Structure formats: C-alpha cells, structure tokens
C-alpha cells in the first residue's frame, strides 16, 4: 500500500506538472468516472534536480458537502485512516493556518518518517504541504496539495496532487510499482471515510 500516498513527500521539488494536471479539462471518460464515484488518476514520473519523482493528480466525487470534507482533511488525527500505510500522524507545531506535522509510514518491514510544513487556505478549501528540510526526514523530496470543490448541491469533488521521491532505495526496489499505484489513492480513502458503505483504506 502506499505510504507514499501519504501526502507524502510533498517536498520542495515539485509543484511542476501537478499544477498543469490540476487545471486540465476532464475528458468525457473522466467525467463519466467521476459521476459514477470512481477514482480518476493521472499518473506522472520525472527526474527533477537529481530526484526521481512519482505521483500525479487524482480526483473523486464524494457524497458529502464541502465543509464536511474539508473538516476531515484538516484533522491531523484522521490521517492514518486517509493516507495508506500511515501509522503515526502527529501535530508538532501550529501557528494559525500553518502547521508542522510528523508522518510515519510502515510498509512490510520498512518504516519511513518525515515532517511536512502544512498551509491551510480555508477560503479556498485547500491544503498544501511540503517537506520541512530543517527537521528529520527519511524521504528525499516532494510536495502536494488537497482541495475540495462543490459538485452540484450537496456533493464535492476532491482533488489530490503529489510528486515525491521516497529516497529509500530498499523501499523503492521492493515496492516501487505498488507505491506508484497507491500514491494517488488518498481521495478514494477519504470517500471511504465519509460515505457509509464505501470501502476505506
């Protein structure tokens, strides 16, 4: 599963094509998938400044109002249920809408921890985060965002973007394919938390 899903590694190397993908128009097939409650993924891989970044952007329709979804994504204690393979999420510092959060993932026998600098934009219903390089971190690079927008009257569209370099050679060699598959599943996990009867992470 993906500890990387974790919003993981939103580290400083990559607002890059995540922003372009976020703003891209949905295809007809993607619109059908969203209406049906399916996860839409746009995967991406690239080398940037010596870092091997994986990730992309994903979207899902959640049958819950924007305010309820946003409340969930700003609750640090919920992260182990929202981010695959996260076993520890701890608020380290909080200054208004800026936070430092410690995250730790476990995948098989591998444990990876790091600190992220989180910025909350309540008016836009969005959260952005990136690696805090001044604190201990087992990953190399990355950054990401999670945003919520209204869909029709009562539902929401959740958009998740991340580009990250796990930096762990053992983890990458053993689980590289799994990480690429799972890194974009955060919206799916979020829907599982908020919609009765839906499968969670």
Residue 147 maps to which CATH number? 3.30.530.20
User: Residue 14 above 80 pLDDT?
Assistant: no
Q: Is residue 4 part of a domain?
A: no
pLDDT in tens, 101-111: 999 988 777 78
* Residue 175: per-residue pLDDT: 53
Q: Hunting for tokens 């329709």 — which residue is that?
A: 61
Q: Is residue 9 part of a domain?
A: no
Nearest alpha-carbon partner for 53 in 189, 160, 183: 183
- For residues 79-106, average pLDDT: 93
187, two tokens: 């919206």
Q: Is residue 7 part of a domain?
A: no
The boundaries of the domain holding residue 186 are 16-194
- The pair phi, psi for residue 149, each rounded to 5°, is -130, 155
76, two tokens: 């640090």
Number of domains in the chain: 1
Q: Is residue 1 part of a domain?
A: no
* Residue 120: per-residue pLDDT: 98
Q: Is residue 99 part of a domain?
A: yes
| 164 compared with 156, residue with greater pLDDT | 156
| 7 compared with 70, residue with greater pLDDT | 70
- For residues 50-68, average pLDDT: 89
Q: Is residue 6 part of a domain?
A: no
> H-type helices in the chain, by residue range?
16-23, 28-35, 66-73, 79-82, 169-182, 186-194
* Residue 21: per-residue pLDDT: 45
Q: Is residue 109 part of a domain?
A: yes
State the Cα–Cα distance between residues 61 and 54, nearest whole angstrom: 23
Count the Cβ atoms, other than its own, within 10 Å of residue 114. Answer: 26
Give how far Cα 147 sits from Cα of 120, 150, 156, Å: 10, 10, 10
- For residues 187-195, average pLDDT: 94
* Residue 181: per-residue pLDDT: 73
Query: pLDDT confidence of 16, banded at 50, 70, 90?
Result: very low
Q: Is residue 199 part of a domain?
A: no
User: Residue 161 above 70 pLDDT?
Assistant: yes
């Amino acid at each position: 599963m993906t500890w990387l899903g974790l919003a993981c590694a939103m580290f400083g190397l990559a607002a890059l094509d995540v922003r372009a993908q976020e703003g891209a128009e949905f295809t007809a097939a993607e619109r059908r998938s969203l209406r049906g409650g399916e996860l839409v993924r746009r995967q991406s891989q690239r080398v940037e400044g010596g870092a091997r970044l994986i990730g992309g952007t994903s979207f899902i329709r959640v049958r819950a109002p924007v305010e309820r979804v946003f409340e969930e994504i700003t609750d640090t204690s919920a992260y182990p249920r929202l981010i695959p393979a996260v076993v520890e999420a701890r608020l380290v510092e909080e200054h208004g809408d800026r936070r430092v959060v410690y995250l730790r993932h476990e995948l098989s026998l591998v444990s990876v921890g790091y600190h992220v600098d989180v910025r909350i934009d309540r008016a836009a219903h969005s959260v952005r985060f990136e690696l805090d390089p001044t604190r201990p971190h087992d990953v190399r690079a990355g950054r990401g965002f999670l945003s919520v927008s209204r869909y029709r009257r009562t539902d929401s569209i959740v958009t998740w973007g991340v580009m990250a370099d796990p930096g762990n050679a053992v983890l990458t060699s053993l689980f590289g394919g799994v990480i690429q598959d799972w890194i974009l599943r955060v919206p799916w996990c979020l829907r599982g938390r908020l919609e009765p009867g839906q499968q969670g992470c």
